[in-house]
Amino acid sequence: MIQTSGNPEIIYEDESIVAVVKPYGMIVNNADTSQHFYTLQDWIIENIKNQKDKIKSDDSSDFSSRAGIVHRLDKETSGILLVAKNIESFKNLQAQFKNREVKKCYSALCHGQFSDEGRVAVPVGRLPWNRMRFGIVPEGRSAITDFKPVSIYEDPDDSKLRLSLIKAYPETGRTHQIRVHLQYINHPIYSDILYAGRKISARDRKRLSRHFLHAKEITFTHPITNESMNLSSDLPVDLTDFLKTLKEIKI
């Protein structure tokens, strides 16, 4: 079982919104499948001032059922999440996501050598034969991700193989989108137990106990002031420490 790497960190807060950095291993929302886990939603109710009272005052809304959490990250993915403190801000931010006005940047380490920037625009949907996984399916929802290489490293288990540290910019927000798109172009994320393949992910997990994906930057419009907001989060210690064990290749 993946264990959470700690508590969330608040990186921005005002009367309308909170931005937190979710640690890996923490589930975002409460659900039947997460009832035995301490979730980000539990943490928000306990730690964001007056949030518990606000969501109780409006039990019928998405704002209440999600404790103001506007979007999601996978359990093993760390990084920035936005939380609204009131219904007005919640609905405004949701609309920004729906209209693709929110810009996000992720850091990912993937297998193979990325040589150029690129875009993947293929539909993503739940696999009919495995409801726990997503993939490229014709009846899926449209999904677009741009990629940009940052650094190239030797694979720690084979000096002839390469790993690429990249930036991923998802224009859409489908479940597992970045992970599925990278698998589709034969660059699965390092230590991704669902999409890197059984043999490769088992080997990777001996060195890194979760997939290498971090939501590092988000740009949006403040729901009340209309100010342009840009927030960022450094790679967490477990990922930076892992990078230090790799040999960077000069291209």
Q: Tell me how many domains the chain contains.
A: 1
Residue 90, in any domain of the structure: yes
Residue 133, in any domain of the structure: yes
Amino acid, single-letter form, for residue 86? N
Residue 4, in any domain of the structure: no
Catalytic residue among 53, 58, 62, 74: 74
Residue 186, in any domain of the structure: yes
Residue 23, in any domain of the structure: yes
Q: What is the CATH number of the domain that holds 242?
A: 3.30.2350.10
157 is catalytic: no
- In tens, the pLDDT along 19-51 reads 999 999 999 988 766 667 889 999 999 998 778
- In tens, the pLDDT along 99-128 reads 999 999 999 999 999 989 999 999 999 998
Domain that holds residue 170: 9-249
pTM for the predicted model, two decimal places: 0.93
Q: Measured at the alpha carbon of residue 108, what is the angle toward residues 187 and 70, in degrees to the nearest 5?
A: 120
Which single residue is written with the structure tokens 């994906």? 213
Residue 168, in any domain of the structure: yes
